[in-house]
Amino acid sequence: MSSLLNIEYPEKLNLANIPTPLEKLRRLGRKLDLDLYIKRDDLTGSELSGNKIRKLEFILAHALSQGADTVLTCGGAQSNHARATAVAAVRAGLKSLLILRTPDPSNPPPATANILLDRLVGAEIVWITPEEYKSRGEIFEREAERLRKEGRNPFILPEGGSTALGAWGYIRAMEELAHDLALLEGGTDQPATVIAATGSGGTLAGIILGAKLLGLNIRPIGINVCDDREYFVNEIGRICAEFKERYAPQLVIDPQFDIEIIDGYVGRGYALSAPEELELIREIAQVEGVFLDPVYTGKAFNGFMKELEKYPKFFGQRVVFVHTGGIYGLFPKEDQFAELF
């Protein structure tokens, strides 16, 4: 498959609703004195909503080419990536096995929100503890071996689908963005800062690689929602290095310079919400009619707003926030939201 900019993409499935729109957040932008845009990757699908389907289009095409019949992946109990994988697997004619993290596997969480969707599409779920999750590589192997013994052909997707192959999904997204920026006043010459919530790193890796491959005047920034800056510079550095080796030896990437992470907004911890984060989600919904999610985009947007307060010029005039999805993450927070109403 080729594109307008003559990048040779690997083979992919067509599952996502793309290109997604680039929308201006007029009211909020006016208030903040910014040209503020949002890339609506929450609209890549309803059941497939979010950033993960962009990576999965490439990864599942590869899994099929390998003759796989079952995809294995992992994540938190309410993982958007696991849900997108389970749904996309069905659409690709595959089965799925999800290895999900929960404090007490003998008493797993109720089938609500993403878990409900996982169940509805018939995903097999294996519950493991956060401690076991640290050695998930072994659990992947154990489960893959069990499936092989049943005569099946498993294919393992690491956390978040954050691999060199998956990074193509956000190179594609940057190509879309370039087309949309070209239509704005000032075109692609005017610099833009692109902000994305960072949870396993693959999205930011793709944005960085895409900006480089396409020669865009874009400054990518990740705001981490778990772990810390050092972790993501390493992780994204690893994905970019693998990408370079496999697909683009000419690329020059300096992890310390090219991988910009704003740390400090993990808050209470992964998937745990502070009242101010939920309050911000409500404010954006009321001002713009856009729903951020509590696990990723709400935290990242909170970080963006806080940094902007401290350093009004830091992000430049034109800012694009990538809405990476996660709407189903709102539902397990019903009780916490109720306190705001």
Ligand X SMILES: *Cc1c(COP(=O)(O)O)cnc(C)c1O
Verify binding: residue 197, ligand X, rule CB under 6 A. yes
**Cβ 166 to ligand X, closest distance in Å?**
8
Tokens found for residue 306:
């806080």
Verify binding: residue 51, ligand X, rule CB under 6 A. yes
Verify binding: residue 202, ligand X, rule CB under 6 A. yes
Q: Which is nearer to ligand X, 288 or 293 (CB)?
A: 293
Question: Which of 291, 300, 284 has its CA nearest to residue 329?
Answer: 291
Question: Which of 107, 36, 108, 48 has its CA nearest to residue 83?
Answer: 48
Per-residue binding letters, 301-340, with ligand X (x by CB under 6 A): -----------------------xxx--------------
The CA distance from 134 to 112, in Å, is: 25
Candidates 45, 158, 160, 294; binder of ligand X (CB under 6 A) is 160
Candidates 296, 301, 304, 315; binder of ligand X (CB under 6 A) is 296
Site for ligand X in 66-95 (CB under 6 A): 80-81
Other C-beta atoms lying within 10 Å of the C-beta of residue 56 = 30
Residue with token string 């951020």: 292
Asked whether the bond before 312 is cis by omega within 30 degrees of 0, the reply is no
What is the H or E stretch that residue 35 is in? strand 35-40
**Cβ 163 to ligand X, closest distance in Å?**
10
Verify binding: residue 298, ligand X, rule CB under 6 A. no
Catalytic residue among 79, 96, 162, 200: 79
Residue with token string 């989600």: 281
Q: Which is nearer to ligand X, 182 or 285 (CB)?
A: 285
Active site residue 200: no
Q: Which is nearer to ligand X, 147 or 261 (CB)?
A: 261
Q: Which is nearer to ligand X, 216 or 239 (CB)?
A: 239
Q: Which is nearer to ligand X, 201 or 332 (CB)?
A: 201
Verify binding: residue 162, ligand X, rule CB under 6 A. yes
Candidates 70, 85, 297, 302; binder of ligand X (CB under 6 A) is 297
Specify the DSSP class assigned to residue 92. T
Specify the DSSP class assigned to residue 214. T
Q: Are strands 192-198 and 318-323 parallel, antiparallel or unpaired?
A: parallel
Q: How many CA atoms lie within 13 A of 213 on its CB side?
A: 26
**Cβ 190 to ligand X, closest distance in Å?**
26
Tokens found for residue 83:
């849900």
Verify binding: residue 273, ligand X, rule CB under 6 A. no
Verify binding: residue 114, ligand X, rule CB under 6 A. no
Q: Are strands 35-40 and 22-24 parallel, antiparallel or unpaired?
A: antiparallel
**Cβ 38 to ligand X, closest distance in Å?**
13
Please tell me the chain's helix, strand, coil percentages from 3-state DSSP, rounded to the nearest 5: 45, 15, 40
Residue ranges binding ligand X (CB under 6 A)? 50-52, 80-81, 160, 162, 197-204, 293, 296-297, 324-326
Active site residues: 79
